[in-house]
């Protein structure tokens, strides 16, 4: 039974790491995937290797990582210079860039910035404000990716520490 349990934890850890790196792909909720795999492993091992405390901590990290658009502005990360329409343009542009420009990550960044620039320029008609909106969209994309990655990594660390300390 110990070998099976250890194998399950190793497979779960590999899947969690893959999910963490997949969170770089836009619109994939990395912390939720990583958390789901960790919680499934905890459940399958009867919460003996991944303790209930670790599962709760992983859940809190997942909630924090999945709600960043709501709390990041309170700590100073703002989309100043990017209108609501510009934000929609950056999301649509990011989606289009992801699928139409086959260079991983770069296509998404080009689409995100280009979408914000285009929509802001059409909406306002001022080049400088459109460029500023593109910069803000780029900053917000990078911050979101770093935060998702960080919370996913934190969930993995809790998983590893719990699995290691209960072996």
Residue 33 has pLDDT above 80, yes or no: yes
pLDDT tens string 35-90: 999 999 999 999 999 999 999 999 999 999 888 777 766 676 666 777 888 888 88
Report the pLDDT value the prediction gives residue 155, as an integer from 0 to 100.
97
DSSP string, 90-148: HHHHHHHHHHHS-STTHHHHHHHHHHHHHHHHHHH--HHHHHHHHHHHHHHHHHHHHHH
Closest by Cα among 148, 162, 159, 160 to 31: 148
- With a threshold of 0.75, does the pTM exceed it? yes
Does the pLDDT at position 1 exceed 80? no
Structure token pair of residue 157: 């660390």
Beta carbons within 10 angstroms of residue 2's beta carbon: 7
pLDDT at 88: 86
Q: Which of 11-20, 101-110, 114-123 has the lowest mean pLDDT?
A: 101-110
Which sequence spans correspond to the domains of the chain? 2-71+148-165, 73-146
């Amino acid at each position: 039974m110990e070998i099976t349990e250890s194998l399950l934890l190793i497979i779960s850890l590999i899947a969690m790491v893959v999910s963490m790196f997949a969170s770089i792909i836009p619109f994939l909720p990395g912390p939720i995937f990583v958390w789901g795999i960790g919680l499934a492993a905890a459940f399958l091992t009867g919460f003996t290797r991944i303790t209930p405390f670790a599962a709760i901590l992983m859940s809190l990290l997942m909630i924090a990582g999945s709600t960043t658009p709501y709390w990041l502005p309170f700590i100073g990360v703002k989309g100043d210079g990017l209108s609501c329409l510009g934000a929609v343009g950056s999301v649509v542009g990011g989606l289009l860039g992801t699928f139409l420009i086959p260079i991983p990550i770069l296509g998404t960044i080009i689409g995100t910035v280009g979408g914000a620039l285009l929509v802001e320029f059409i909406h306002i008609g001022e080049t400088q404000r459109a460029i500023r909106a593109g910069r803000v969209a780029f900053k917000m994309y990078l911050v979101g990716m770093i935060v998702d990655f960080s919370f996913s990594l934190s969930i993995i660390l809790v998983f590893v520490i719990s699995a290691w300390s209960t072996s």
